[in-house]
A = this chain, B = another copy of it.
Amino acid sequence: MKCLVLLSGGIDSTTCLALGVKKYGPSELLAVTAYYGQKHAKELQAARNVAAYYGVAHREIDVSQAFTLSDCPLLAGRKGAIAHTSYSDQLAAKGGAGTLDTYVPFRNGLFLSFAAALAVSVHASCIYYGAHADDAAGRAYPDCTPEFEQAMATAIYEGSGKTCRLEAPLLQWNKAQVVRQGLQLQAPYHLTWSCYEGREKPCGLCGTCRDRAAAFAANGVPDPAL
């Protein structure tokens, strides 16, 4: 295996996988999807479908034990409601910057560490993940900031004995540009799931639904998953 790809089943990680398939070919990739105790399994099924579409080896991991003490409303059984406004409106309500309620404690650090353990085990020389330019906006999620990501990249490189690098191939693009790249690569966006809610159809109202809709609108195409 040459590259491990973190695959959540949304459009960013699916675009990441499309780039990995183009660069390395499907047989050199291992896609990894994490269950972290989220309220629904829609995105897990989406990840399975995307990996199967490309014929890429796929593993699921369960890191939900790490979050049993958290009250984040994305997690199953928590009472807090998921905000039905855009990220920018949520940030504005916090004075323009601050950690959003949908921050799952150190979730990305845990995903990346799990990925590193698996990547080193299969002698992969890189880990792809779907961070992009919008992620750090307003510092809404501390585990999406450049400072965090650079530190994790160093930790993975050093902690793997300099055998494995963390790479964020979408990092220079905003979400609309990510979708533009994915459309060019014919990424299977019809199989993806982004919504924080777990209903039959995406709610269209949560921050991630609004972000996704804006990215397709910016490219002048309908969302193929709707």
Chain A interface, DSSP helix/strand/loop, else mixed = helix
User: A62 contacts B61, CB within 8 Å?
Assistant: no
Q: How far is the CB of A129 from chain B (nearest CB, A)?
A: 14
What are the residues of chain B within 8 A of A54 when measuring CB–CB?
A: none
Asked whether any CB of chain B lies closer than 8 Å to the CB of A162, the reply is yes
- How far apart are the CA atoms of A156 and B106 in the complex, in Å? 8
Q: How far is the CB of A33 from chain B (nearest CB, A)?
A: 12
Q: How far is the CB of A68 from chain B (nearest CB, A)?
A: 8
- How far apart are the CA atoms of A108 and B117 in the complex, in Å? 10
Central interface residue in A70, A110, A113, A158, by most chain B CB within 10 Å: A113
The one of B69, B70, B113 that contacts A113, using a Cβ cutoff of 8 Å: B113
Q: How far is the CB of A142 from chain B (nearest CB, A)?
A: 4
- Size category of the binding interface on chain A: 35 or more
User: B117 contacts A109, CB within 8 Å?
Assistant: yes
User: B69 contacts A61, CB within 8 Å?
Assistant: no
User: A161 contacts B147, CB within 8 Å?
Assistant: no
The one of B61, B66, B152 that contacts A117, using a Cβ cutoff of 8 Å: B66
User: B105 contacts A116, CB within 8 Å?
Assistant: yes
The interface of chain A, by Cβ under 8 A from chain B, is 61-63, 65-71, 99, 103, 105-110, 112-114, 116-122, 142-143, 145, 147-148, 151-152, 154-156, 158-162
Q: A70-B117, A109-B156, A152-B155 are in contact. List 15 more A-B contacts (CB 8 A).
A: A61-B65, A66-B114, A69-B118, A105-B118, A105-B160, A106-B116, A106-B120, A106-B156, A107-B117, A109-B159, A110-B114, A113-B114, A148-B158, A151-B158, A152-B159
Across the A-B interface, give the 6 residue pairs with the lowest CB-CB distance, nearest first: A105-B120, A151-B154, A142-B161, A151-B155, A69-B121, A66-B117
